[in-house]
């Protein structure tokens, strides 16, 4: 069987199974484990479910204190990401798409790369936008990334 790994951004809050059943207006049954710790999970589609704590905590991390890889996944999903360790508080990275430029002959060139298409990481800071930003070793190894909420 083929293996899969998932990446999605959800909202969640701790909730025992019995409280979830009450929240969903479900009848509590005497033989069910209503005191099992877990999470109420709300997906981007607005679908809500309950997940046991162990399974949830193995699959999800808070979006404040992420590793670099999850920050990259977030920007691929249209989010903005930043590091707590950066000096400028108005700095973040995001995915730039449909990149084009004007060459020396005055012609507009639509950038297209075999692997990345016409996309690049843009660093947005207090002095403007830097396209094609490259992460430092510190950026890649830090776990202080977070999603910038607007």
3-state class of 146 per DSSP? strand
Residues 147, 150: Cα–Cα separation, whole Å: 10
Write out the E strands in 72-133: 80-83, 92-96, 100-102, 108-110, 120-125, 128-131
Q: Is 31 a residue whose pLDDT tops 90?
A: no
Mean pLDDT of the chain: 89
3-state class of 66 per DSSP? strand
pLDDT band at 63 (very low <50, low <70, confident <90, very high): confident
4 or 138, greater pLDDT: 138
């Amino acid at each position: 069987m083929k293996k899969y790994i998932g990446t999605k951004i959800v909202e969640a809050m701790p909730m025992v199974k019995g409280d979830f059943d009450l929240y969903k207006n479900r009848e509590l049954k005497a033989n069910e484990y209503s005191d099992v710790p877990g999470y109420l999970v709300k997906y981007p589609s607005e679908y809500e479910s309950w997940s046991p704590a162990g399974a949830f905590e193995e699959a999800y991390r808070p979006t404040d204190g992420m590793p670099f890889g999850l920050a990259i996944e977030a920007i691929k999903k249209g989010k903005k990401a930043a590091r707590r360790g950066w000096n400028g508080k108005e700095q973040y990275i995001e995915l730039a798409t449909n990149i084009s430029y004007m060459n020396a002959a005055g012609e507009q060139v639509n950038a297209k790369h075999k692997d990345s298409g016409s996309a690049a990481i843009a660093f947005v800071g207090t002095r403007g936008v830097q396209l094609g930003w490259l992460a430092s070793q510190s950026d890649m190894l830090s776990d202080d990334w977070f999603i910038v909420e607007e």
